[in-house]
Amino acid sequence: MANPRHYHEWKIWQDLKLPDDKVLIPGFIAHASSYVEHPELIADSICNYAGLVGPERVIAGADCGYSSRATFAPEVHPSIVWEKFRSLAEGARLATVRLW
Structure confidence by residue, pLDDT tens digits, 42-98: 999 999 999 999 999 999 999 887 766 656 667 788 899 999 999 999 999 999 999
| Per-residue confidence (pLDDT) for residue 96, from 0 to 100 | 98
CA distances from 94 to 8, 17, 26, 55 (A): 21, 26, 17, 13
pTM of the model: 0.89
Q: Is the pLDDT of residue 14 over 70?
A: yes
| Per-residue confidence (pLDDT) for residue 70, from 0 to 100 | 59
